[in-house]
Amino acid sequence: MRYYRRFTALQRVLHVFMMLSFLGLAVSGMPLLFSEQPWARVVARLFGGFEAAGIFHRLCAVVMIAVFGGHVLHMGYRAVFRKDWKRLLWGPDSMVPQPQDAVDMWNHFRWFLGRGPRPTFDRWTYWEKFDYWAVFWGMFIIGGSGLLLWFPVFFAHFLPGWMFNVATLVHGEEALLAVGFIFTIHFFNGHFRPEKFPMDTVIFTGRISEEELRHERAPQYQRLEQEGRLAAYEAPPPTLEAKAFGWVVGGGTLVLGLVTAILIVYSVIR
Ligand code: HEM
């Protein structure tokens, strides 16, 4: 079977560090947010106490901010030095929403309601772009408020006191939103859609099979074929090691994430 490149090595590495740091932030942050719950004490004890959980949280925050900074720098490099800014902002390879995304979404919802055929998507689907931008703007909100909580003395030189109360609220609420979204909808897309179950390893291996590209990304396949660029994307099949890594890291994150989501729901409805 033939395979084609979908993600570059840099994108795969950044995603692994993003998911591990996000999981670490979620698992160490939730005991702080729900500190009155009995399970919070158990989880905090695994870190060595609430204070140690706070230190672990800050370490993971450094990793996440570095990943985000690395991604933004790389985009800047592509836009300025490789003069690639048009492709970054417009067309099928861009993460910026395009008119076609609205059409795709409309057709997808028609299919959900049994009113039309199942649509196929180009390189990025509308929900993949939604996930991307959710993390992008979320970084400013959760990262900005987190830095305020981390360095209150520094920020108090130029910010009023009430900002720190707002930052605490915003940080906790945005964390719940992010955890709720990633550990349910994002996991559903990667693990629980019938054609992906139990795991889509493409983000770890970077390779998509010809079968998937042809059927699930038909417009991209046809475009590459017509432009004679398909061969340039051809790649060796994913190695067993890359697949095993995906299963272990992806599966581990899935289990820990779902447990965290269940504990949150339990705490809120209890
Ligand atoms: C990336 C930048 C981030 C920074 C700089 C940051 C920083 C912080 C700091 C300094 C605290 C206070 C910790 C303490 O009291 O010891 C905190 C609390 C918390 N963080 Fe983060 N954090 C970040 C991202 C995240 C993410 C991505 C999540 C969730 C997925 C998260 C969830 C939480 C929660 C739930 C709390 C407890 C809030 C409360 O007690 O009301 N944080 N964070």
Question: What structural domains and CATH numbers belong to the chain?
Answer: 3-269 (1.20.950.20)
Q: Please say whether the beta carbons of 127 and 48 come within 8 A.
A: no
pLDDT at 34: 95
- Residue 143's pLDDT band, with cuts at 50, 70 and 90, is very high
- Residue 209's pLDDT band, with cuts at 50, 70 and 90, is very high
pLDDT at 153: 97
What's the token pair of residue 160? Answer: 């009023």
For 115, phi then psi, to 5°, come to: -105, 5
- Taking CA atoms, 65 is separated from 106, 110, 178, 246, in Å, by 35, 39, 16, 23
Nearest alpha carbon to residue 186 among 19, 30, 13, 44: 19
In the chain, what percentage of residues exceed pLDDT 90?
92
Residue entry with tokens 């992906």: 196
pLDDT at 262: 94
What's the token pair of residue 122? Answer: 């180009």
Residue entry with tokens 């940080």: 171
- Residue 191's pLDDT band, with cuts at 50, 70 and 90, is confident
**Is residue 217's pLDDT more than 90?**
yes
Whether a cis peptide bond, with omega within 30° of 0, leads into 198 is yes
d(CA 29, CA 172): 9
Q: Whose CA is nearest to atom 32 of ligand 1?
A: 29
Distance (Å) from CA 174 to ligand 1 centroid: 10
For 267, phi then psi, to 5°, come to: -70, -35
Average pLDDT of the chain to the nearest whole number:
95
Residues with CB under 6 A from ligand 1: 22, 25-26, 29-30, 32-33, 54, 57-58, 61, 64-65, 142-143, 146-147, 149-150, 168, 171-172, 175, 178-179
pTM of the model: 0.94
pLDDT at 189: 85
pLDDT at 240: 93
Average pLDDT over residues 53-72: 98
**Is residue 121's pLDDT more than 90?**
yes
Average pLDDT over residues 115-137: 95
Distance (Å) from CA 57 to ligand 1 centroid: 7
What's the token pair of residue 224? Answer: 């590459």
Kindly tell me the burial class for residue 27, based on how many C-beta atoms sit within 10 Å of its own C-beta (0-12, 13-18, 19 or more): buried
Fill in the DSSP letter of residue 2. -
- Residue 270's pLDDT band, with cuts at 50, 70 and 90, is confident
Judged by average pLDDT, the poorest of 4-8, 106-110, 238-242 is 238-242
pLDDT at 149: 97
**Is residue 268's pLDDT more than 90?**
no
For a pocket test of ligand 1, which of 142, 145, 150, 168 has the largest count of ligand atoms closer than 8 A to its C-beta? 142
Nearest alpha carbon to residue 53 among 34, 18, 27, 23: 27
Nearest alpha carbon to residue 64 among 7, 24, 9: 24
d(CA 131, CA 216): 18
Distance (Å) from CA 144 to ligand 1 centroid: 10
Nearest alpha carbon to residue 141 among 183, 178, 182: 178
Q: Whose CA is nearest to atom 36 of ligand 1?
A: 29
d(CA 50, CA 29): 10
Which distant-in-sequence residues (6+ apart) come within 8 Å of 180 by Cβ? 261, 264
**Is residue 258's pLDDT more than 90?**
yes
Strand 3-5 with 207-209, pairing: antiparallel
Which numbered atom of ligand 1 lies nearest the CA of 53?
16
- Residue 199's pLDDT band, with cuts at 50, 70 and 90, is confident
d(CA 204, CA 254): 14
Distance (Å) from CA 7 to ligand 1 centroid: 30
**Is residue 197's pLDDT more than 90?**
no
